Amino acid sequence: MNIVITGASSGIGFALAKLYARPNTTLGLIARNTGKLAQIESICREQGATVIKASLDVCDTEALKSWLLDFDRQNPINLLIANAGVTSIMPRNGEMESWDSICQVLNTNIYGVFNTVYPIIEPMRRRHQGQIAIISSLAAFRGLPITPTYCASKAAVKSYGEALQGYLQQDGVKLSVVCPGFVTTELSEQFPEPKLFIVSADKAARIIQRGLANNKTQISFPIHLALGMKLLALLPPGIANWILFALGYGVTRDETLNR
């Protein structure tokens, strides 16, 4: 079994790497944080897996493509998990997200996913086998006022994954779109309370692994929050926004900005 995971140095990616690490498995682990990457490499090797790591930024199109194709030539990829992502929260004083922050989120969460998935599609199609998992978010179903760019990026990759499902199904290549809710990661720490139905990264990884093993086209969890976000998307925008503000996912403006 040959598996590649981006964003493997923390959060869900770290937990997935641990979960899939076993004898007769080759893991390709990609992340920017070299220290944490070395840590997960050590853990996975101790569990019997062969590990090939790369300290790469998923926004580096050519470097990532070269590494992925080289890995695939030597270890044909059975499962590719496009997990790397970042977030951006609106400042609590009511200011907008900075332009640099917006670009970082869009580049990492959208182009980073495209850069990861695109090079491996044709090799998988030629082999008529393989599985791709794109990590989106429950925030893809309905935008949250506190994090508009993040929601937009996750909605984009959700749509991309859903479209690819129809394109790849005749080629024997499976694709799952994963939409987690709140998970105990460094990323979720940036969101305000309450973090409804939050789950640990290890539990999230087990849910994802089980869903991928069952070839689910969409893996959304936790179930109650998933249902709530899907219902929220059906409500009139005014009512939906009122609910989100009541839950604490709006933005409280500084009085000086309202003068």
CB atoms within 10 A of CB 14: 25
Q: What is the pLDDT of residues 206-227, one digit of tens each?
A: 999 999 999 999 999 999 999 9
CATH classification code of 2-258: 3.40.50.720
Q: Which residues pair with 30 in a beta bridge?
A: 6, 54
Enumerate the domain spans of the chain. 2-258
pTM (two decimals): 0.92
Q: What is the pLDDT of residues 185-203, one digit of tens each?
A: 877 777 766 778 889 999 9
Token reading at 218: 């969409």
Four-point Cα dihedral 46, 48, 50, 56, nearest 10:
-40
Token reading at 149: 């760019």
Predicted local distance difference test score (pLDDT) of residue 253: 54
Q: Are 97 and 88 in contact (CB under 8 A)?
A: yes
Distance, in Å, from the CA atom of 23 to the CA atom of 32, rounded to the nearest integer, reads 26
